């Protein structure tokens, strides 16, 4: 691949990933109006980790602490997250998904799963496997 071809390919990837991110935000509200894309991502990570600190969320998603704080507060108001005192450091609070938070997250995941399955219905399994591997590789190179 020549430098020019590589540059054009990277520009195409950047443009397409940007379009993907913008559509994802819009589709998130459509697929599950109770959760923004950021809120759903936070709730999913809290569930995946079976609880975590707000600072861990900020680091993982590369977000300002104030953004995480607002999103966490909204999730708490909705009854999707609860705080527990961290036994290892009583000044910290571990965020945990409530039963309702887990229910809403499962419903959102099912809606996203249906949307992705529909989007990939014309793709063969090999192409889906390759895209999955490339996305894992791309995200792993970020180091987070």
What distance in Å separates the CA atoms of residue 67 and residue 65, rounded to the nearest whole number?
A: 5
Q: What angle do CA 20, 25, 27 make, to 5 degrees?
A: 90
> pLDDT tens digits, residue range 32-67?
677 778 888 999 999 999 999 999 999 999 899 999
- Listed in sequence order, the DSSP H helices in the chain are 3-31, 37-48, 54-61, 65-77, 99-119, 125-140
How many structural domains comprise the chain?
1
85-94 average pLDDT score: 92
* pLDDT for position 143: 61
Q: For residue 36, what is the domain's CATH number? A: 1.10.10.10
Question: Which range of residues forms the domain containing residue 95?
Answer: 3-140
Q: What letter does residue 2 receive in the DSSP assignment?
A: -
pTM metric for this prediction? 0.78
What distance in Å separates the CA atoms of residue 115 and residue 100, rounded to the nearest whole number?
A: 23
Q: What angle do CA 96, 107, 45 make, to 5 degrees?
A: 35
């Amino acid at each position: 691949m020549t430098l020019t071809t590589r540059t054009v390919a990277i520009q195409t990837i950047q443009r397409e990933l940007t379009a993907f991110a913008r559509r994802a935000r819009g589709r998130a509200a459509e697929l599950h109006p109770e959760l923004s894309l950021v809120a759903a991502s936070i709730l999913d990570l809290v569930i995946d980790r079976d609880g975590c600190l707000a600072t861990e969320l900020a680091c993982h998603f590369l977000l300002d602490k104030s953004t995480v704080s607002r999103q966490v507060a909204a999730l708490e108001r909705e009854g999707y997250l609860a705080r527990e005192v961290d036994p290892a450091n009583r000044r910290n609070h571990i965020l945990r998904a409530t039963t309702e938070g887990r229910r809403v997250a499962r419903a959102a995941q099912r809606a996203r799963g249906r949307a992705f399955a529909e989007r990939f219905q014309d793709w063969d399994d090999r192409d889906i496997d390759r895209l999955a591997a490339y996305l894992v590789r791309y995200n792993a190179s970020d180091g987070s």
